Structure 1
Amino acid sequence: ETTEPVLPPCFCLNDGVCQDGACVCPEEWVGSLCELVNFCEVSIYTANISEGILKNLTFQRIIVGKYGNSAEKCEHNTVNGNHSIAVRMCSRVGKTPTLQPPQILNCNANLDSLASQVETADSSNVSAIASNTQILTSMPEQLTTQSISTAANIAVRILKKPDISEHSQASVAIMATVSQLLDANETQFNNDNLIDVTASLTRTMEEFSLTSNITQSNIAIQSVPLKLNSSTILFSAQRDMALGYIQSTKLEVQENVPGLTGDLSTEVQILLNIKNNNNGRVGFVLYQNGKFFQSRIYKSRSRFSKQIISGNIDGGRTSGVELAFSPKYNTSQFQLRDHACVFWDYTTNDWSTTGCTKGRDQFLRCKCNHTTNFAVLMAFQIKYNYAKPLEYISYIGIGLSIAGLVITILFQIFTRKTRKSSITWMLVNLCFAMLIFNIIFISGIENRNAKNHSSDTTSYDQQYQTYDTTSNTLLTSDLVDPPADSWCTAVAVLLHYFLLATFMWTALNSAQLYLLLLRAMKPLPGRFIVTMSVIGWGIPAIVVAITLGTTYREGKALNYRQEEFCWLAALDENQNFSMEKPMLWSFLLPVALILLFNFIMFINITVSVIWNDNKDLTRNKKDSFMKKMISTISVVVVLGITWTVGYLMLINHKETSLVFSYVFCILNATQGLQICILYTFRSQIFKKKISEVFLVFSVPEIPVYLHSKTYYVSKSHLAKHSREAFRQPETFSEDTSLSTLPNHR
């Protein structure tokens, strides 16, 4: 006996993504598990494109509720050359996607010519104009501000024609056109020339809603007659979670209901309280987005689409309007912080809160004393994944690094007379920049807002509130920035500066090594220390200043830094790596250039000096393989070559990236300790000083004498004789900065 497999709570098929315990499906699939087909397959239809001319029209896959364009185009010499000659809709009959017969375009008619024909067109020509307008707007991504304006004007003129609701073909085509306009790029609507056009269109839609019932992918219209005993009219849109587009939404109109429904699956509902009923009609319009309502005050920065609903009554009056919204958004990414109940004020062409109050429980509720286009404006805050507190391994690694850098700096200063001053200065500046960076990193990298975030466990929609007028103020944005933290911004600036300075000093150290080792017979350039200091500390300051000047604005600190932790901003609002953020052009690119320069210097030094004989340099003995390896590692550490591992973390493979992440953290958290071991602890001077301080650990010195024997051969003597002598071994001075490199003289 076999049993059905038990599916996980959120098991999604066909590339669906689990979000908040439910599957978010690609548009080709619907259903609770994304298991239902939501498209019509590729098709070929033989159509009569003109009198007596038959042509096979090919249509690619079409999403349910949308129109697809034919692969065949109009002739090049026609007005609509290269435009698809036909469109075809895919609708759903039950659960089966079904193709409708195609609509054929008049290739010699464009939007401008159609607009000129509307006024004089009779009822027999209106359908053709509406159909051609729909076809010409069937590719919303190609629509411009001008084409949107012309198409909207055509729609207004047709919808205002007498008895247009009786011409179902024309009405459906025009509503399809309006729906397609709502799919156009939103940037095309940010034009003052469209304000009057869209205002005229939405007002006309309110009037048209009194006589028609039409549903398209982005818009729905419902109309009901008023009865003498009608006291309330409730319009509700309940989303069918198995499908997920407006055609699948259950649109329902109920009369004489006691109030708004409490069903949480209802996305939007509007209740009209009727008085002075004169047997009129009520019309409702539901927009799936607000592109026709472009506000100069409320700006949308997220991709969240708000629904607009209007209620219009003819032959009666209302004593009030009640609305409830249950918006669907990604609760794992956003947290609702505030909302405002608004209507579209045609006198100002913007949202207004006049005459409306707001409240909240499971729904975002509104009460208004008039009818028009309503919406609820929402302000979200991104749920930042704040960085976790540093782990003990990080504290240990960075702590050891700080200790090593302090020891190295002090050692270099106190023993500076044993080497060239430029060598001491270069290494001390490198260690100092790295030391300050580590101190700031370990003490300030965590954002203090993280503590407030962890203590704020109650979301806005869980905070119930009765209806309130005073708090119903117009919002200015759909995204609310987290509390300003000037301390975090200052930390990000300092980390940016000192880390760039660290890399700059590694480049200068590599240049110095090149000059000392590969150009050993030539002196260093004049004013070498001053020049290196200006470059090492000045260039990072210039980069940081330019970055701040171009990105930071009052109240917009997140243009410069991240919120998750105090470091440069890298991701956009959709959590994608952004080329415009400062992380790329003010850090990754400069550091990549420095590391490339250091790598070239490293190859030159290791090949020409460490692992090969140089004619300009002489050795007093052959270096062992181990010493050559230590010398190579020393150059790698001081030039920061290990930071190249950080770029390998960008590999788009989880396991590989994780390995490089651990390697990167270990190597660079302990870089200061590595410098201390290689450039301080291994120094003969350091060992000697330690032996002098800790005599108890030193081994008693036993004089060692070298034995020499000299032979003399003289013609005056038949036998040779010799003379023996003993001498102490010679001591040689050591250049501690290059102590790990092979000895040269």
Structure 2
Amino acid sequence: MMWIFLVTLSWLSTAQAVHFCKNVISECYREAPLQNVPWTRCYEDRISTCLQGRHLMPNFIQKLVNSSQEAEACPTDMHSVHIPSSALQRSRSDESQMEVVLVATVINSTYFTVSRPEAIKLRPNRPKATSRMVIHDQRDHMQGTVMGGLVLAVTAGSQPVGNLPQPIKLTFTQTRQMEYRTCVFWQELDNGTGIWSTYGCNTNDTGAVVICSCNHLSFFAVLVNPNLSVDETHSMGLSYINYIGSALSVVFTVMSLIIYICLQQQRPEKVIGVHIQLSGAVLCLHLSFLLCSFWVWLINEDDEGWVCRFLGLFLHWSLMATFCWTALEGFHLYLLLVQVFNIYVRRYLLKLSLVGWGLPTLIAVVCGSLDVYGKYSLKLSDAKDQNSTVQICWMRSEFTPNLVVHYITTVAVPCMVILYNACMLGLVVFKLWGVRGSSRDADSSRSWKKVNTGKRLWKDFVTVLGLSFVLGLPWSLASATYISLPGIYLFTILNSLQGVFLFLWSLALTCKSRSDKDSSTTHPSSQKMTTLNN
């Protein structure tokens, strides 16, 4: 009996140290925070010695491989890994060990908690990987959606593997075509969270297959549409572009107003009146942006007086007024091209002004009563691991309801305006195509020259391009800021110079003011266009 008791006690003590493979993730995810260590480190320690039990786990490979030979593993039909012999040799605990345990499996991406940007402290130096932590800088930090929601976990031996001369090849297969995919690995942080980093990994996207070449072993994934992290150098460059572009827009918008007022006195037209209102809104937008940016340089960093709150309200009001008047430009274009004859609206410009100026005023008053305006702070980290702050008078950063106000007024409303004006621009292209077709039919008896056709196509292209800036379509490039750094620069340049493009459009109207009168007496289609402007 004593012998049975001792054997049973020995078995129980041994069983407590045994971990079944299917429970390793849940156990580490639950126990690691209590031990103040990342759960991924607990997983790597236990996964090579765990037991699979009676039934083999799906999408899980655990096998002994010869360290002097290459090894391959395919945990799923869509994930595979090829490990060179140099990586297996480095994973050995001693040189006499010939075989190492290779584990390859896929893990749900929900187990990986991405750290908040303000909690990330990255260092500029990149030492050799002597532990599981690989220190890197901010340029490697990526954010995005994990492709397929699965992370490929690969471990070998008991020693960390990094800075390999021959990279490890990981293959991710996806049947659905996706763009802008990037290979990343999971970089754990001391607070139990982590980040997705591209350090040591190269991406080869062939369409249906993404091949990742990495010089270390870890948890790997492919991010779809990663958010670009802009460092302080690019941030300062973009800031200067904004300041210079806004200053030029203020100057040229004032010149546009003078031109429009002169045209209005010579030939009163409703379309010119709408252009005047839009130019006024754009002038207020760029002027308020410059005032909000420069005012924070003059006041104390911790001071947030009524002037900054007023400037934040002024900037928000100007932005909403600009979008409202671009939408009204599209509405007037609809009346011009669709509702052609017998259009008379009593006090037409006054009613448009009530919408174009009244709606932004109402929104600004409601937001001002909620005390949402103040100093907005954006923290940046440069290459020297020094935190810097960019401030502007806008909506207060710490005010939670600002998220709702922000997404409604600066995301939802602009998206609807851009979509509507894009449809109007498509209608313009359709009408121009019909007008040019009728003109070619009318001139069929004449000798139609290719030179004249080229000139008309060029004029139509310039017209459509100018209308796209008047309708505010360059704002749609905001989606490009989530794709690449050139997209951010393109969006910043085009929208900061909006006043300059409006000035060029006013010059084009001035040059065509006399030719439009002459053409309206000769071409019926042009007569429609001229009649509707009045």
* TM tier, smaller: 0.3 to 0.5
Greater Rg over alpha carbons, structure: 1
User: Higher relative CO (CA 8 A, sep ≥ 6), structure 1 or 2?
Assistant: 2
Q: TM-score, normalised by structure 1?
A: 0.35
Q: TM-score, normalised by structure 2?
A: 0.47
